[in-house]
A and B are shown apart, each in its own frame.
Chain A
Amino acid sequence: MSPSRVAAIALRIVRQIARDRRTLALIFVVPAVVMALVGASFPESAGSGVLSYLAPALLAAMALFFAFILTGVSFLRERTQGTLERLMASPVRQEEVVLGYLFGFSLFALVQSFVVLLFTIYVLDINYSGALWQIIVFQVIVTLGSVNLGIFVSTYARNEFQVTQFIPLVIMPQLFLSGVLWPVAQMPRYLQWASDFLPLTYAVRGLREVMLEGRGLKDVPLELGVLLAFAVSMSALGAATLRRG
């Protein structure tokens, strides 16, 4: 493993995205616009309590969604332009490529997650009990897992159309089955079982414990552990599917 090669790949991605001003502007603006719409769509009669209850799930879901799209599409572009193949013909190792891309894409994916978080807390003015840094830890782990998921999944797409089809396949079921919109306990038994295999379930559950119940990270070891294991396993799968030859 060469840290200098990992750093070179990550810095190159950061430079590339930072040079494209329109992309950069969209990275900042889109999450804020989406959260503004979410906030504005809530009827006053529902009261601020409903939004505060939904906020942890929304934070986790948005982090998963934005990071997946950003990474999936950007990584696919590298494949279709031939730059990934060129890189794979160099002395670089698969794990260096995955780590380089992870660090590079994560910077912007985290920016989007933080825009969602700060907008939700300071503009939508939701109430939360836990410490802000603990919420951030959850957001970071969800985002890293989703970036790795995007890298892994995009290796199975040949074009933009195909990668966007992975959104309804990979992201949408999680929105419906992970307790974002309604409690998992109210779903049929077999769907409750299915939700146990979805990372968003653990993100939603953990963030609710921290934000609504005021619990600390040490109180949610299962949720944190599953999310970390998901991020690491997606990273390993991404490296495995990138193998040369």
Chain B
Amino acid sequence: MRARVKEGNLDTGKKAAAVEVGRLAVSFGHFRALDGLDLRIPAGLSFGLLGPNGAGKTTLIRTLAGLLKPQSGQVRVLGQPPSPQVARNIGYMPQLPALYLELSALENVSFFAQVYGLIQGKARRAAMEEVLRLVGLWERRGDPVLRLSGGMRQRLSLACALVHRPKLLFLDEPTVGLDPELRSTFWEYFHDLTHQGATLVISSHTMDDASRCDELAFLRAGRVIAQGTPEELIRAVGKIGASLEDAFLYFARRREEESVTQ
């Protein structure tokens, strides 16, 4: 089966969309970080944004999280434009852990729980215990972040993004700097979350992460050059033993050829 290369009009697939983006353009000065990007992310999947540095992955995630204002185009997240109301159902894990170093792990999670509206003490405590146990930090809950290792901070950052049980999670390079064992643990969490109905949008530039996603979009120079399941994208290369890396290079070359002929 040929991979679906989507550009231009939004695809209206059968499954409900968690994210719909049409002709999205975001610039920083003269640099166009997103250049007329179209994307539709079906709900209930782990969806990978794969591309080299500077492809626009982080800019896209920050725009979807409502942190950047596009110059043009449409963005719909859970059926609405990004806003504080929509943000209640969204979890955001930035590339850097972005935690309060002097506070304990529990205090960090508690703060984000309150900010996301978990005010009631009992419900908040239960949610905090659940996520801290999930990321294996319940025993270290009283330790200030300053005393936690890099991997533990990544896990705590994930716990902060999960504590309010979001329907949609934006994870910006969540596995960077993690050892293979921890990366594997993270992916177990991610699959558990999608089985519970959450949608995960994960940016990465590693093929290991990409191969674990239910569906992928290849990004290059601020555009989606291909979208499909990892298997579909690999099959499109038409070579036995092709990898996702080969698939990315195949679509990147095809895009270049298309732009030359145009």
Contact = CB atoms under 8 A, between A and B. Distances in A.
Interface in B64-87: 65-69, 82, 84-85, 87
A245 B71 CA distance: 10
Nearest to B85: A91
Interface in B163-180: 170
Given A4-B114, A5-B114, A89 B102 contact: no
A91 B119 CA distance: 14
Given A8-B114, A19-B144, A245-B82, A89 B67 contact: yes
Contacts of A15: 102-103, 107
Given A85-B94, A245-B67, A245-B68, A90 B115 contact: yes
Contacts of A81: 96, 98, 101
B130 to A, nearest CB: 19
A20 B103 CA distance: 10
B98 A91 contact: no
Given A82-B98, A83-B98, A90 B103 contact: no
B144 A83 contact: no
A91 B99 contact: no
A85 B67 contact: yes
Interface size class of B (residues with CB under 8 A): 20 to 34
Nearest to A4: B119
Contacts of B189: none
A12 B111 CA distance: 7
A33 interface: no
Given A16-B102, A245-B66, A5 B92 contact: no
B241 interface: no
Nearest to A94: B84
B94 A86 contact: yes
Contacts of B117: 2, 91
A94 to B, nearest CB: 9
Nearest to A82: B98
B85 A86 contact: no
B186 interface: no
Contacts of A140: none
A15 to B, nearest CB: 6
Contacts of B63: 245
A82 B115 contact: no
Contacts of A88: 66-67
A215 interface: no
Interface in A68-91: 81-83, 85-91
Interface of A: 2, 4-5, 8-9, 12, 15-16, 19-20, 81-83, 85-93, 244-245
Which 10 residue pairs across A and B have the least CB separation, nearest first? A82-B98, A245-B69, A8-B114, A19-B102, A89-B92, A86-B98, A89-B65, A91-B87, A91-B84, A91-B88
28 contacts: A2-B117, A5-B114, A8-B111, A8-B115, A9-B115, A12-B111, A15-B103, A15-B107, A16-B102, A19-B103, A19-B144, A20-B102, A82-B94, A82-B98, A83-B100, A85-B67, A85-B98, A86-B94, A89-B65, A90-B112, A90-B115, A90-B116, A91-B87, A91-B116, A92-B115, A244-B82, A244-B84, A245-B63
